[in-house]
Amino acid sequence: MIVTDEVTKMTVKPRKAVLEMPEYHPPLAERTALRLDFNENTFSPSPRVMEKLKEITAEGLTKYPEREPAERIAAKHFGLEPEQVLLTNGVDEAIHLICAAFLEPEDEAVVWVPSFFMYDVSVQMMTPNLRRVQSDASLEFPLERFLAAITERTKLVIVASPNNPTGAVVSREHLLAIAKAAPHAVLMVDEAYYHFFGESMLTDVKTVPNLIVTRTFSKAYGLANLRIGMVVGDAELMKFVRKVSSPYNVNGVALDCLPVALEDEKYLAWYCEQVRVGRERVMAGLGELGVPFFPSHANFVLMDIGPKHKELVAAIRAHGVLLRDRSNDPGCEGYVRITIGVEEHVTKGLEALKASLQEIGWSAKA
């Protein structure tokens, strides 16, 4: 072996797509305050999950995880066949796998904006041909323009319903129309926030061959740190997604906890009701304060703060509450998002919001 002190110049280049794709860096530092910034469950997963975690053994940690038993349980729980279900390392991985399975560099993908930025990242890892269909000022789903953006080259269409960061929803009828308009493309409906809305396309995978639905256990179930999500689709379609996934993509702790989290429907219903009631309180509170907001069907509300958006986020941080500035999202100039959690956290969030708006001298016209 020749050892040299010379610094060799890096000549290795990634794929062109990797050079050009955007990066996603959520503001993760020092999230020790009340977390109303990432749309997480603000409280806890089911107590049964906490009990299950006590059963972790040293030997258990030495073993590679087995995904299939949990997949069978999840399939039964949701009235599906195991072949229609793939568990993933959160929906983030699901998006990645779907793009890897279906997109060639010359293909096109269509997304709605503003929406979840990981769609941009994963699509552009495979192809530069990303068509973004922007909402108008109403932030509602632009159905006509969305349908018009679908071409013969469209291979993937992604719609989050409820959408993030707006909380807007797309009706089942409109989603079915999209699936029909693009039979040569996969329609991915991201139902990460389904539990706070209640309408789903999950069972439509039995009759719509190009539909894929994604669900996360990060939000209502409170398992964001375990990283577990689910992809559901026609068994033939799912074969390709499964093929590009590692057999060990989901850790065994998450796989062990999933069945008990699914079983505890009472806890899930309780948490979702906390959010529904809290969401009404927040929207009413914003109304009283004169803060314009987008009516939400998710566990967050997007507020129109205007030019003082940064000041508000800094001021409320000093009160021990984190909010997410969404001003950089297309069409969201001046918008700040607040997560809705359990009653106590909603109360704290609202009080801190009121005090912070006062401190920064915010007024409805500012």
Contacts with ligand PMP by CB under 6 A lie at 39, 90-92, 116, 160, 164, 190, 192, 216, 218, 224, 229
Q: Minimum Å distance from CB 280 to ligand PMP?
A: 21
Name which of 39 and 135 has its Cβ closer to ligand PMP: 39
Farthest CA pair distance, the chain: 74
Cα–Cα distance list, 9 to 6, 13, 58, 186, 329 (Å): 9, 12, 44, 42, 37
Cα–Cα distance list, 179 to 72, 165, 214 (Å): 27, 23, 15
Q: Please give the Cα distance from 14 to 44 (Å, whole number).
A: 41
Q: Minimum Å distance from CB 362 to ligand PMP?
A: 27
Q: Minimum Å distance from CB 114 to ligand PMP?
A: 11
Q: Please give the Cα distance from 46 to 268 (Å, whole number).
A: 7
Note if the bond before 162 is cis, omega within 30 degrees.
yes
Name which of 135 and 356 has its Cβ closer to ligand PMP: 135
Name which of 308 and 337 has its Cβ closer to ligand PMP: 337
Name which of 309 and 324 has its Cβ closer to ligand PMP: 324
Q: Minimum Å distance from CB 296 to ligand PMP?
A: 13
Q: Minimum Å distance from CB 307 to ligand PMP?
A: 26
Q: Minimum Å distance from CB 365 to ligand PMP?
A: 32
- In one-letter notation, the amino acid at residue 63 is K
Q: Please give the Cα distance from 122 to 99 (Å, whole number).
A: 6
Contact indicator for 227, 41 with CB cutoff of 8 Å:
no
Name which of 121 and 177 has its Cβ closer to ligand PMP: 121
Name which of 160 and 238 has its Cβ closer to ligand PMP: 160
CB atoms within 10 A of CB 150: 19
Q: Minimum Å distance from CB 281 to ligand PMP?
A: 22
Residue nearest to ligand PMP (CB): 90
Name which of 88 and 210 has its Cβ closer to ligand PMP: 88
Q: Minimum Å distance from CB 246 to ligand PMP?
A: 16
Name which of 95 and 315 has its Cβ closer to ligand PMP: 95
Q: Minimum Å distance from CB 81 to ligand PMP?
A: 22
Contact indicator for 197, 298 with CB cutoff of 8 Å:
yes
Name which of 108 and 329 has its Cβ closer to ligand PMP: 329
